[in-house]
């Protein structure tokens, strides 16, 4: 059974790149364009991994991550922060909110795919 990945990203192109990349390698994709929708969708569908944009309309990625972590069913789901806001301190803030990985844009789709697989393998082991 293929793994499900939730993409929470407000920007159309970024969402499409992730979708095209991950669908082509056989993942099932869920999409949300805001923090609140993303949190609702995650609680509803229990994805195997979440790609979280940090700059989102409404509640931001940090807050969405905190809310996801508050739900016991999602407490251990890997969350990857994806951001173009690479200020020093942002990374620490993302980890503090509960992210497992931090990728800055522009990322190499190849590298992102490798990281996603790595995290899925890790969570499958435990």
Contact residues for Mg ion, defined by CB under 5 A: 10, 53, 55
Q: Which two tokens stand for residue 40?
A: 């609702």
Position among 2, 46, 71, 84 found at the interface with another protein (CB under 8 A): 84
Residue spans of alpha helices (H) in the chain: 12-24, 35-45, 61-70, 90-97, 109-125
Position among 107, 117, 120, 123 found at the interface with another protein (CB under 8 A): 107
Measured from the CB atom, the residue of 37 and 109 that comes closer to another protein is 109
CA-based nearest residue to 71, from 114, 42, 108: 42
CA-based nearest residue to 116, from 12, 1, 26: 26
Residue 24 near another protein by CB under 8 A: yes
- Contact segment (CB under 8 A) with another protein among 32-40, 58-66, 79-87, 94-102 equals 79-87
- In angstroms, rounded to a whole number, what is the distance separating the alpha carbons of residues 51 and 65? 10
Residue 33 near another protein by CB under 8 A: no
Q: Which two tokens stand for residue 12?
A: 């159309």
- Which parts of this chain interact with another protein (CB under 8 A)? 11, 13-14, 17, 20-21, 24, 55, 84-89, 105-110
């Amino acid at each position: 059974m293929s793994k499900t990945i939730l993409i929470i990203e407000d920007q159309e192109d970024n969402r499409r790149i992730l979708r095209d990349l991950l669908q082509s390698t056989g993942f099932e994709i869920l999409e949300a364009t805001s923090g609140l929708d993303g949190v609702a969708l995650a609680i509803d569908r229990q994805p195997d991994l979440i790609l979280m944009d940090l700059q989102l309309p409404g509640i931001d990625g940090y807050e969405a991550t905190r809310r996801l972590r508050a739900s016991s069913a999602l407490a251990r789901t890997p969350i990857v922060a994806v951001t173009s806001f690479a200020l020093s301190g942002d990374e620490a803030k993302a980890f503090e909110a509960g992210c497992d990985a931090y990728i800055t844009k522009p990322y190499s789709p190849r590298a992102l795919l490798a990281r996603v697989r790595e995290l899925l393998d890790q969570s499958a082991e435990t």
